[in-house]
Structures are given as C-alpha cells and as structure tokens.
Chain A
Amino acid sequence: MSGEVVLVRKGAYHDSVRLMRVSRALSATPGVEAAMVAMATELNVAVLGDLGFTVPPAGPGDLLIAVRADDPGAAVAEADRWLAEPARPGEAGADGQPPLTTGSAIRREPAALALVSVPGEHAFCEAYDAVVAGLPVMIFSDGVPVALERRLKELAEERDVLVMGPDCGTASIGGVGLGFANVLTPGPVGVVAASGTGAQQVTSLLDWAGTGVSHILGVGGRDLSAEVGGLSTLRALRLLDDDPATELIVLISKPPAPEVARVVAEAVAGLRTPVISALLGQDATDLTGAAEAALRALGRPVPEWPSWPGPVRGGARKALKGLYSGGTLSAEAALVAGQGDFVDYGDDAYTRGRPHPMIDPAPRVEALARAAETDVVLMDVVLGHAADPDPAVTLAPAIARTPATVVVALVGTGGDPQDLHRQAAALREAGAAVHLSNAQAARHARSLL
C-alpha cells in the first residue's frame, strides 16, 4: 500500500546537516520512493513542492517529515528513530543534563575557544556568552546583521578577545582546523582572511609548494567594511605579529572601505612581520598570485601548479556557467574569466535551513543535469575537514552524465581526509579538467569558449 505523508512537528529543531543525513538514509531505505526531513524554511517548502508534496502550513521553527513510500507510517517511524538518536553519544555528559547555552558549556569545563554555527539570527547570543567570558569565538554562521557584528566586536575590544566571523568558513589555530579546514603542514605563513575559501585556496597552494602555515585567522567578509571598521583584522594582525611561529602574514580580503584601508595600512606599517595583502579584484591580484607572492617573499621557488586536462565536449561552446560552493572562489573565477553566469551556492539565499554545498552536493548535481552541450561548466570542489567526505562519489557520475564541458578547481591538500589524488583522478576519469589553481581553471575554461 503506497502512500504519501507530510507531517509537521511544531518547534522540533535539528541542524540542517543532521537532517540531510536523515533524509539521505531515509531515501535509501527500501520501499521509500522520496523522502525529505527538513526545517520548514521557505526554501525547503519550495523544494518539497518541486518534489510533488503538499506542505501544510508551517514556519521555519517547525520540522517537516515528508515521505512517499510503500509504507509511509513505517518510514516516518524510521525517521523518528534516527532523529531520536543523540547527535553524539554521551553528549549529555555524566550528569544527564547537556549544556543548553554557550555560557553554560563554558562554565562546565575550561575551554579555549567557542565555535558558533547556529542559524545567523540566533548567533549573537551564543557568541556574546563566549566574548563576555573572555573566550575567542569563531562564528561560522552567516546572516548575522552587521550592526550586531559591530556590537560583538566592540565588546571583544573591551574583553581583549578575537571574534572570527560572522560567516567565517575556515580557521586554523595551532594546527587545529575549525569549520571547513584543510589539513596543512605547520610552517611560517600566518593568514588573516576575510574570506574562507580564499584562505583555503592560498594555503592549499602553499601546501602544494611545500610551505606550511602557522595559523589562519578568519575575520568575516564584512570586517573591513566601514560599519565594522576592521576591528578583527587589526586584532588578528597583532596576534600573528606576536606569534613566534609566523614569519610572513598574508592578508586576504575584498578591497576594504577606503577609510578602513588607511587604518589597516597604518597598522601593517607598524608590524615587525612582513605582510602581503591579497585584495581580490584590486591591482589584478588573484589568490594564486597571492600564494606566489608569499613564496617569493620567503625566497622559495614558485612551482608549476598541477592540472590535468579533460576532454572537450560538444561542437560549439558558447556559455560559461560557474557552479561554485565558495563565494570568493566564485568571485575570483568571474573576475578572471571576465564573462559567464556564476552562481555561489554557498550564499545565504541558498543555505537558509539547508547544509552548505560543500557538504550537500545535491543543488550542483541538479545544475549539472540542467547544463547544455554548448556550456562550459566551471566549478570548485573543496576538500578538508567538515566538507563532503567523498565529493567525487556524487559529482563524478554527474560530470560523466552532463553533456557540458567541465572544468574543476580542486581546492585541497595531500593531507586532507578525502585524498586529493584520488579525488582528482575520479573527477578526471569522469571527464573533467582539474586544476589546483582556481585562477588557472578559470583561464582554461575561458579558453574553451
């Protein structure tokens, strides 16, 4: 007896990555035709509509369980069983009461850092708890209003702590990767980054060139805006200047607001450590160029960045389509290519109530399926901690199936858990050209038109 149900669980909350895993497991269950377990955000309700489900009235704070299956009741029971499992065994702690706020967690055991990834509209409270307790905080969440970012960073000035983010995708402190983080060899380069994927590209290239990284301090994409005034950038620069392991600082950002640029330039001039600024879109600097400049500053050779050519498909290639998971990588590729239609699937608009495209390949798999024979598709595949544990396993078949010509910028290191070489081989075998340099990938894609 096949049937369809859509249940609304009022006020039941689970994070989007967990829900994606439940959805995947449920969809793979025999007898289940389609299944989605997700918070009832506008985006998810629309996706369910596309899947042919009729969704009853529900808000973003409500959980939806939608299944079309031989036995929908059994499928829902299965979903509930997965949802009831603790996210991590023993998370409740010895006393059976898990901390419910960041402040409560900090009081329980001394910690060195807080990592906040709750939905952006709620991130302030958690980050605030950390800052008032004198704890540095990384805010992975995006969608935090800029006024609150300013308020947090002002408070951080008073408490002498670093606020990384909001919308800080990556950081690395003393070799520990936070958020989306590549496995990097320790070395002399410290990075201050207003862009997560920008930092990942530069440090991955350095790693390939045999040059390691001391720390990556993310500051959030708006830190160098006039509203925020570069408070975290200035603090991060001072921290790296005082760090004995850091011999060279690379500052990666979009061009700052002019008044902030002056302040940052003054601060840089006062540091003992040399600084290389990679201001994307300004002075024709691209991320690969920044990595090369860092190598030259250290007196080290600049290698050939590896690439593996792929087959060219179709007769006449007319349009360049950028399908990106990294915002900065997408912007860089658009600048370098100078043409084309680029979509950043990691943007707020695509991630509200859904996992980041570095974790969930589905939106880009769908986009590949829609591409035409006359398209050149340029896309990034980002490896490292927290990213999709095996992106090639879903992307390679999609690349093999699409009629378009595909160029991949593969951002990762030999130490990453996904195995850089295995990923490159699988993507190449599926028919993509693969480059470690995003700028080179973009140039190559343009040359195919």
Chain B
Amino acid sequence: MTFPPTPSLPGPSSSGPSPSAPFLSAPSRVVTVGAGLLDESLAAQAVATTPVDWRPPLPGTAEALVSVLSDPRRQAANELAARRLTAARPQLVGVRRASEVLGEALAGGAFLHAGPPITWERASGPLRGALIGAMLLEGRAGDERDAERRLAAGEAALRPCHEHGAVGPMAGVVSPSMWMFEVRDEEHGGLAYCSLNEGLGKVLRYGAYGPEVLERLRWMDEVLGPVLAATLAATGPLDLRALVAQALQMGDELHNRNRAATSLLLRELAPAVVEAAPGRAAQVLRFMAGNDHFFLNAGMAAAKAATDAARDVPGSSMVVAMARNGTDFGVQVSGLGGRWFTGPAGVPDGLYLGSYGPGDANPDIGDSTITETAGLGGFAMAAAPAIVRFVGGEVADAVRATRSMYEITLAEHPAYQIPGLGFRGTPVGIDVALVARTGVLPVVNTGIAGRVPGTGQVGAGLVEPPAEAFVAALLALAAEVNDPI
C-alpha cells in the first residue's frame, strides 16, 4: 500500500476517503510546483517528478481564485456543467423562417445581432453594414442613408442572438425573412437556431449590403430556405454530433475549416433535395457545394444547443458563451446566469485577402466563438493541420494550440476526437478559474471583417480574447460565493 491511489481525474467527493489508513512509503512520483531547486533535489534522490510550469495568476485574481476554488459547490457544479455540455446530442431537425421561430425576439421590428448587447452608437462598421442590409432586405428603408437614419433613430431594437436561443456568424444579424437552421439537443431537449450561410466575399454577415448581397438573400428566402425545409422534413433529424465527429477526423476544426463537414452534409441531403424540389435541386446543391463554410452555421447551432444545456448550474465556473459584436468581446459563465462580462474585442492576427491589410480589419466579431466554447474551432486545431495555410503558422502551432487548451478546460469531449493526438477528445469546457490561474486565453480562429461598412470579408486568422472579460467573470463568481444570491 502507498498513499491513496491517484485517480486519473480529480475524483468527485463521492469517491470518498480511502478505505484504510495510508501507509508511509517512498513516493513513486512527486508533482513539484514552484522552486526548481526542490524539484532538482528530488531528481538527485532518483525520485520521478512531474514539474509544473507555474506562472503567477492574472493580476488582481489571487483572492478571487481562493474564494472560487474553495466554493464547496464548484467541483460538482463543474462536473455537471461539463457533463451536460459533452452529453448534448444536437440534431438538425428543420429549417424554418426566423419570423416563425424567433417571432417574439424580433417583435416590434427588432433585429438580432452577434455578441453581447450593443447600441447603434457603439456598433462597428460591419455590424452597421449588416443592419443597413437587413433594413433594406425587409423593405423598411428606401436606401442606405434612409436605413442609417432610421437605425440611428432607434427604429429597430438590437438584441443579442445569444439571449434568444440563437447564434449568428460575424455580424450575426437576423431579420424576420431569413431562414434558420433548427437544432434540437435530443439529450436535454433544448433548441438552438442559426441563419443559413451566404457564402464568402461580399455577404451581409461581413457587413456588405450591395445589390448582389440583397439579391442573394432574396434567393435564399425564396428558394434555398423552402427547399431545405422540405428536404429536412423528408430526411428527418440529422445527427450533427456524429457529423461533427466525422468531420474532425477528416481534417476540419469546424470554425475556419468546414470543408469536410459541408461535404458530409451535402452527401446526407442531396438525394432528398432532388426528391423535394427536382426543378430547383441543381441550383440549391450548387450553392451549398460552392461554399466550404455552408456547414458552419449548422455547427454553430449545434454548439449553441450543447452550451445552453450547460447553463445555470449554480457555482459552476465554466464558460457557456464567448461572443463578439465587433466592439466588445463578451463571456457568459454557467454559474452566473445571463450576465455578460466584456472587454474590448481585439483585431485578429492572420492572413489578408488580396490587397487588404491589418489597417482594413475590424475588431473581432461574431458568435462563431460558440465553436471554441464547445471544444471545436481553435480548440480542435490539431485536427486540422491544413488550417495553418489559412490562418498562418506551422502545423506544430496547430498542435500546440490544442494542447495548451487542455490546461484551461474541464473535460475532453467523448465524441469529438483528434486522430493525430491518438484520438484524444478535444479540450472542452473553459474554466475561468483556470484561465486566471494560467494566464492562458482561449485560442480563437476567426474570419476578419472589413472595418468600413459594406466591405465584406478581408481575411482570416487567430484572435486573442481580452483577459479582462475572464477576470471580470471570476471576480463576479467570487462575489457570488462570498455573498450568495
């Protein structure tokens, strides 16, 4: 016998004390944290050690960390939150009009947008551009100037997608005539929505609102949406958990690379598309096949369904949403309800299209960080070595990014696995306490929108979330521990 055996994961309190009194014997291995000298002196005695590469926590978090870590609810709460997040079984169950499924959220002429709450005054170029486009699409303004005037006058209330069971890529603007993927979590019963992907280049979600943008949106409204709705009615629910798991093994990370997932989706749907709408099948299939990111929006809705299942566990320090509105980067935490914790959105670092450069880039925008929140995207970079050609860097950087995320997450996803890491599950369930302790921020892959309204996409790359959003969430958790609601 030795000291109580170490469980491979920190055991829940239910594992209880060891059955008999531990016997003292030379430790087989010692975890050392702090002075390297003490580690060296163990090595000199031929004792194996696991040295921790320790750094002081983020400034201003030391006291809050003590409160949050010693919250007696926390361990079980985080286990529950992580279990719900990873047990979710998102199924694509339908494609429906926003006016029908988000009627309440859009009531009174409101639009949904990505990220934490924001006003027109503080909205960045691409969000303004997308809102102008939505005004024009819905016939609520005669032209760009008219739309801008009406938005500035507050004619459209702005509401975060996240607060209404939805997510939106980039600007994430949702208006009543748009069609939405409907995803149901078969495990917990939740529903989540995301609009249909328009393709790349000049598109509404990147803030473009020219005639070609509106024309495409009208075609999606009249053709794509109804055809996909009929298709899914015929196929029945499509298992997105299984599809995402397959796509990871085919080299996608499901945020900036969706080529495999889109192909898989197309393979699943194509026969039913032909049967549902023989006359229009070719244009629908051509549109889907022409956009490597067509799956992204369905994947985002799947991630939203899973993360929403993990919300509202009292005492949990797990992140359930990361989202940007082009001005602020916001974080929501399971144990803190619907509160947002924000910091300034950073400008992504990456590769630019054509002659665009960093000066053309808007600060980070979009709800697509829901993929990272659910253990995909930047967290699954090691599954997608090809991504480094798109976001810059080496294959080793992608592997390093994923490995570093295990240091700030609570679990490994049982279904989402990375072949190159020996089929290890992706790191999932960001713990704000671990972010504060390690100073390691979530790795986020993202597209880059042009700063000027109407520009569209200018590049893609990596972005660092603001540490203060995580620090603010940690301080709020500590305040809640010390003064429970």
Q: How many A-B residue pairs have CB under 8 A?
A: 227
Check A322 for interface membership: any CB of B closer than 8 A.
Answer: no
Contact A113 B69 (CB under 8 A): no
* A65-123 interface (Cβ within 8 A of B): 87-88, 91-92, 95-119, 121-122
Name the residue of chain B whose CB is nearest to the CB of A18: B36
The CA-CA distance from A95 to B404 in the complex, in Å, is 10
Contact B34 A140 (CB under 8 A): yes
Check A13 for interface membership: any CB of B closer than 8 A.
Answer: yes
Check A239 for interface membership: any CB of B closer than 8 A.
Answer: yes
B343-381 vs A, CB cutoff 8 Å, 1 = contact: the mask equals 000000000000000000000000000000000000000
Contact A124 B69 (CB under 8 A): yes
Contact B407 A97 (CB under 8 A): yes
The CA-CA distance from A386 to B8 in the complex, in Å, is 30
Q: Which residues of B contact A128 (CB under 8 A)?
A: 69-70
Q: Which residues of B contact A178 (CB under 8 A)?
A: 30, 38, 42
Determine, out of B102-110, B239-247, B291-299, B432-440, the stretch whose residues face the partner at the interface.
Answer: B432-440
Check A135 for interface membership: any CB of B closer than 8 A.
Answer: yes
Check A61 for interface membership: any CB of B closer than 8 A.
Answer: yes
Q: Which residues of B contact A15 (CB under 8 A)?
A: 34-37
Check B75 for interface membership: any CB of A closer than 8 A.
Answer: yes
Q: Which residues of B contact A103 (CB under 8 A)?
A: 10
Name the residue of chain A whose CB is nearest to the CB of B59: A61
Q: Which residues of B contact A109 (CB under 8 A)?
A: 29, 50
Name the residue of chain A whose CB is nearest to the CB of B26: A174
Contact B24 A215 (CB under 8 A): yes
Check A146 for interface membership: any CB of B closer than 8 A.
Answer: no
Name the residue of chain B whose CB is nearest to the CB of A359: B37
Q: Which residues of B contact A114 (CB under 8 A)?
A: 30-33
Q: Which residues of A contact B25 (CB under 8 A)?
A: 173-174
Q: Which residues of A contact B54 (CB under 8 A)?
A: 100-101, 118, 126
| Closest-CB distance, B11 to chain A (whole angstroms) | 6
Residue tally, chain A, CB below 8 Å to B: 78
Check B47 for interface membership: any CB of A closer than 8 A.
Answer: yes
Determine, out of B14-22, B139-147, B208-216, B330-338, the stretch whose residues face the partner at the interface.
Answer: B14-22
Check A369 for interface membership: any CB of B closer than 8 A.
Answer: no
Instruction: Name B45's contact: one of A61, A100, A177, A179 (CB within 8 Å).
Output: A177
| Closest-CB distance, B311 to chain A (whole angstroms) | 24
B408-448 vs A, CB cutoff 8 Å, 1 = contact: the mask equals 00000000000000000000000000100110100000000
Q: Which residues of A contact B328 (CB under 8 A)?
A: none
Contact A125 B65 (CB under 8 A): yes
* A1-43 interface (Cβ within 8 A of B): 11, 13, 15-18
Contact B3 A118 (CB under 8 A): no
| Closest-CB distance, B482 to chain A (whole angstroms) | 13
Contact A61 B56 (CB under 8 A): yes
Q: Which residues of A contact B399 (CB under 8 A)?
A: 96
Q: Which residues of A contact B52 (CB under 8 A)?
A: 98-102, 104-105, 126
Contact B17 A159 (CB under 8 A): yes
Contact B53 A111 (CB under 8 A): no
Contact A116 B27 (CB under 8 A): no
Name the residue of chain A whose CB is nearest to the CB of B399: A96
Check A160 for interface membership: any CB of B closer than 8 A.
Answer: yes
A341-352 vs B, CB cutoff 8 Å, 1 = contact: the mask equals 000000000000
Name the residue of chain A whose CB is nearest to the CB of B22: A239
The CA-CA distance from A13 to B18 in the complex, in Å, is 37
Contact A129 B10 (CB under 8 A): yes
Contact B26 A133 (CB under 8 A): no
Q: Which residues of A contact B406 (CB under 8 A)?
A: 97, 104
Most chain B CB atoms below 10 A, which of A114, A140, A161:
A114
Contact B29 A112 (CB under 8 A): yes
Check B188 for interface membership: any CB of A closer than 8 A.
Answer: no
**With A88-B51, A97-B404, A134-B11 as contacts: A17 and B29 at CB distance below 8 Å:** no
B377-400 vs A, CB cutoff 8 Å, 1 = contact: the mask equals 000000000000000000010011
The CA-CA distance from A135 to B66 in the complex, in Å, is 19
**With A95-B403, A98-B51, A148-B66 as contacts: A115 and B56 at CB distance below 8 Å:** no
Check A198 for interface membership: any CB of B closer than 8 A.
Answer: no
The CA-CA distance from A243 to B474 in the complex, in Å, is 43
Name the residue of chain B whose CB is nearest to the CB of A137: B31
Check A151 for interface membership: any CB of B closer than 8 A.
Answer: yes
Check A390 for interface membership: any CB of B closer than 8 A.
Answer: no
Q: A-contacting residues of B (Cβ < 8 Å)?
A: 2-11, 13, 15, 17-18, 21-45, 47, 50-57, 59, 62, 65-66, 69-70, 75, 396, 399-400, 403-404, 406-407, 434, 437-438, 440
Name 28 interchain pairs, CB-CB below 8 A, sorted by A: A88-B51, A95-B403, A96-B399, A97-B407, A99-B53, A106-B31, A106-B50, A107-B10, A110-B6, A111-B27, A111-B29, A111-B30, A111-B50, A112-B2, A114-B31, A115-B42, A117-B35, A128-B70, A130-B31, A133-B10, A133-B11, A134-B7, A134-B15, A160-B4, A178-B30, A240-B24, A243-B24, A245-B24
